[in-house]
Amino acid sequence: MSTPTIQTEAGREGWEAIVADPATAVISTDFDGVLSPLVEDPARARPEEGALDALARLAASVQQVAIVTGRPALVATELTGVTGHPGLGRLVVLGHYGLERWEAATGKVTSDPVPAGVAEARSRLPELLQELGVPDAFVEDKESSLAVHTRRLPDPVGAFERLRTPLTELAESTELRLEPGNLVLELRPPGIDKGVALRRLLESTGAQSILYAGDDLGDLAAYRAIEEQRKAGLRAVLLATRSSNATELIEAADIVVDDPTGVVTVLTALSDAIAAR
């Protein structure tokens, strides 16, 4: 399979570094919109055909393969079906934006403490949504964060905009922060994001190169963290899908694909290049 279109010199250098020395490389991806198509019901998300096999093939050569997601780690492992998948015995799932870490080698989850503000926001949220006239907004309780989805509402964009300021105020009053996404507003603990998660992963592995794939605004923190590490010599490939139409992310990417099928194509091309080196 041919090399995908890489739009930047930094991205080409990152690709070449991974191919030349995969044993010091990390492959990390988001789940929703990247390994799995976006769906209205988050509980029905499943990996794109071939996605896990592509990760498993890379796992045979690279230092570490990781899934970085806002979902709870155990929920992500259940939805992805990675438990017991041949070739993914060293996979790491960083759930709750890195608050949790699940390792396939042990099957165990380790977690940082959940701030008390999450429980307070959980108790206040239903009444607030009622007052705002959107009681049917879907609240995804991730235990360490709360995501309010408007995609299922009659006017999803209007509801999203109506909720933004009140939820920002709720986040501030409970010492959380509001993270907007694709028709979703998430209240989460401060200091927890995919950038922090990736910095920890890079430090723990000592990786010299990385490919990270994302699709939404929550992945910008990961991109920024990697860009900072590039200044210190890290080689990297930033891959984005158009799944969530996150313009800022797409403009910052080295490689852009339409959807998870494109991600599978890129990961397969990378493993082909490693095998042919």
Gap between the Cα atoms of 120 and 118, Å rounded: 5
**What is the reported pLDDT for 1?**
63
246 domain-assigned? yes
Pair (75, 174) in one structural domain: no
- Helix and strand numbers (H, E) in the chain are 9, 12
CATH number of domain containing 242: 3.40.50.1000
Span 160-179, average pLDDT: 94
Span 235-240, average pLDDT: 98
Pair (154, 129) in one structural domain: yes
25 domain-assigned? yes
Pair (235, 262) in one structural domain: yes
Pair (104, 123) in one structural domain: no
Q: What is the bridge-based pairing of β-strands 25-29 and 209-214?
A: parallel
CATH number of domain containing 131: 3.30.70
Pair (32, 73) in one structural domain: yes
- Under the banding of pLDDT at 50, 70 and 90, the label for residue 27 is very high
Structure tokens at 203: 């430090």
Pair (133, 201) in one structural domain: no
Closest CA to 53 of 78, 86, 80: 86
Closest CA to 183 of 40, 30, 36, 37: 40
Asked if residue 25 lies in contact with residue 13, where contact means CB atoms within 8 angstroms, the answer is no
- In the chain, what percentage of residues exceed pLDDT 70? 99
Alpha carbon 198 to its chain centroid, in Å, reads 10
Gap between the Cα atoms of 3 and 134, Å rounded: 47
**What is the reported pLDDT for 173?**
96
pLDDT digits (tens, 9 = 90+) for 173-218: 999 999 898 899 999 988 889 999 999 999 999 999 999 999 998 8
Lowest mean pLDDT, pick from 21-25, 65-69, 245-249:
245-249
pLDDT of 14 higher than 70: yes
272 domain-assigned? yes
> Domain range for residue 137?
116-188
Global pTM?
0.83
Span 162-166, average pLDDT: 95
* 3-class secondary-structure state, position 51: helix
Alpha carbon distances (Å) from 4 to 138, 231, 237, 254, 270: 37, 24, 12, 10, 9
Pair (93, 181) in one structural domain: no
Pair (94, 127) in one structural domain: no
Pair (90, 198) in one structural domain: yes
Domain boundary among 159, 188, 217: 188
Domain boundary among 145, 167, 188: 188
Asked if residue 17 lies in contact with residue 237, where contact means CB atoms within 8 angstroms, the answer is no
Pair (104, 204) in one structural domain: yes
Residue 39: CB atoms within 10 Å: 13
4 domain-assigned? no
85 domain-assigned? yes
Gap between the Cα atoms of 227 and 232, Å rounded: 9
Domain boundary among 172, 188, 204: 188
Asked if residue 171 lies in contact with residue 177, where contact means CB atoms within 8 angstroms, the answer is yes
Closest CA to 64 of 209, 264, 220, 222: 209
Pair (179, 232) in one structural domain: no
- In the chain, what percentage of residues exceed pLDDT 90? 83
178 domain-assigned? yes
Number of domains in the chain: 2
pLDDT digits (tens, 9 = 90+) for 103-150: 999 999 998 888 899 999 999 999 999 999 999 999 999 888 899 999
231 domain-assigned? yes
2 domain-assigned? no
Pair (239, 168) in one structural domain: no
Gap between the Cα atoms of 23 and 234, Å rounded: 14
Closest CA to 130 of 145, 148, 117, 151: 148
Averaged pLDDT score across all residues of the chain = 94
pLDDT of 2 higher than 80: no
